[in-house]
Amino acid sequence: MTTKRNQLLVFILTFGVFSILNTEMGVIGILPLIAEHYEVSISTAGLIVSLFALAVAISGPILPLLFSGMNRKHVMLFVLGIFIVGSLVSAITSNFTVLVIARVVPAFFHPVYCSLAFTVAAASVPKEEAPKAVAKVFVGVSAGMVLGVPLSSLIATSTSLFYAMLFFAAVTIVAFVATLLFVPSMPVTKRISMGTHLYVLRRSVMWLSIAGVIFMNGAVFGVYSYLAEFLKTVTRYDWNTVSVLLFLYGLANMVGNMIAGKLLANFPLRTIKMYPIALITVYILLFTFGQFSVPTAFLIFIWGIIGGIGGNITQYWVVSAAPEAPELSNGIFLTSSNLGTTLGASVCGLIVTGISTQYIVVGGIVFLIFSIVTNYFRISMTGRFEGSKVEG
C-alpha cells in the first residue's frame, strides 16, 4: 500500500511539474506568432522566455527556504494557484507588457514547487534509487515539451493565442485538483539549520557545480529557444511540420530522462564527461545538415534524447554537491539552470539578429566548451571515483 501511495505521489508531482514547465516552455512553440500578434521583434518576444527564467534564477535560492517550514501540500496548492491566475491574465491581455508581467510573477514561485517535487520524490525511495525517482519527475519537464510546445503551436495556429494560453491554465487546474484530492498533508517536522545552508554556500565544489549547470543548460535552451525559428527559416518546414518536430524533440527528451536515471545511478561521472562531447557533435551536424529535412528530423530526435539526459545531469550535479541540504541545493539547481537559460537565450538571440538563425548552434557549442572546463575542475577537486553515489 505504501509503495502504491508513493507511486501516486510521484505521478502527481510529475504532472505538477509538467503543468508549470508547460506554462514556462510552451510559449517557445508560438514565439513567432506572439511577435506577430503583439507587433514586436522575435528577439523581444523571446523576453517572455528569458525573463521568466531570470525570475526563477533570482528566487531559486531564496523562496524555497522561506517556504521550507510550511506544510508542503499547502505550498504546492498556493504555487499552482498563482500559475493558474497568470495564465488566465496572459490569455485575455492585449498588451505585451502585461503579458510579460503575467508570466514573470508566477515565475518567482516556480522554484518553490519544483524544489519540493524533486526533494519529496527523492525522499520517497531508498537513497540509491533517488536518481531514478527524480528522473520520473523530470519526465514532467520533458512532457512540457512533448505536449506543451507543439500543442500550444497547434492550438495557436488553428485557433488563436487566447486558446493556447487557456490550454496552459487548464493543465495547471488539473494539477491543482489532483493535488487537492490525492496528495496527503505533509507538515515539515524538521528544518535544516541556517548554519548548514551557509556551510554549503562556502564550498568551492558547489560554485563549480553552479557554473557547470549554467553552461550546460545554456547550451541546450539557448539553441532550443529558437528551434521553431530555425526549423522555419533554415530547414524551411511549414508550421504543421514544425509542431510535429517539436513533439518529436519532447518525446525524445522523455526517453533521455529514463535513460539518465539508470546512467546516473550506475555511471555518474562517465555520463557527465561524455554528455557535452555528444551534444557538440549533434550541434556540428545540425549546422552542417540543417538545411536538409530528413537529416534534421533525425538530429532533432537524437538531440532530444541527449537533452533529456542533460536535464537530469544538471540536477544531479548540484544536489550531489550538498546532499544534506536538498531544498537549498534544488533551489540552487533551478537558479543556475534558469540563469543558463537566460544567458543562452540572450546570446543566441543576439546571434539570430546579428548574424543568422543557422548560427545559434555555435552559441551552444561555446557554452559546452565552457562546461567541459568547469566540470573538469569540479571532478578534479572532489577526487571521487567512477560509480560513486555521492559526489562532492
Average pLDDT score over the chain: 83
Q: What's the pLDDT at 391? A: 43
Average pLDDT over residues 261-276: 86
Q: What is the per-residue pLDDT across 288-306, written as a single tens digit (0 to 9) for each?
A: 988 888 898 999 999 999 9
pLDDT band at 193 (very low <50, low <70, confident <90, very high): low
What is this structure's pTM? Answer: 0.75
Q: What's the pLDDT at 386? A: 39
Q: What's the pLDDT at 339? A: 83
Q: What is the per-residue pLDDT across 325-345, written as a single tens digit (0 to 9) for each?
A: 777 787 888 888 878 887 888
Count of Cβ atoms closer than 10 Å to residue 361 Cβ: 27
Q: What is the per-residue pLDDT across 76-119, written as a single tens digit (0 to 9) for each?
A: 999 999 999 999 999 899 899 999 999 999 999 998 898 888 88
Could you tell me which residues come within 8 angstroms of residue 191 by beta carbon, excluding any fewer than 6 positions away?
68, 69
In the 3-class helix/strand/coil scheme, how is the chain assigned residue by residue?
CHHHHHHHHHHHHHHHHHHHHHHHHHHHHHHHHHHHHHCCCHHHHCHHHHHHHHHHHHHCCCHHHHCCCCCHHHHHHHHHHHHHHHHHHHHHCCCHHHHHHHHHHHHCCHHHHHHHHHHHHHHCCCHHHHHHHHHHHHHHHHHHHHHHHHHHHHHHHHCCHHHHHHHHHHHHHHHHHHHHHHCCCCCCCCCCCHHHHHHHHCCHHHHHHHHHHHHHHHHHHHHHCCHHHHHHHCCCCCHHHHHHHHHHHHHHHHHHHHHHHHHHHHCHHHHHHHHHHHHHHHHHHHHHHCCCHHHHHHHHHHHHHHHHHHHHHHHHHHHCCCCCCHHHHHHHHHHHHHHHHHHHHHHHHHHHHHCCHHHHHHHHHHHHHHHHHHHHHHHHHHCCCCCCCCCC
pLDDT at 383 > cutoff 60: no
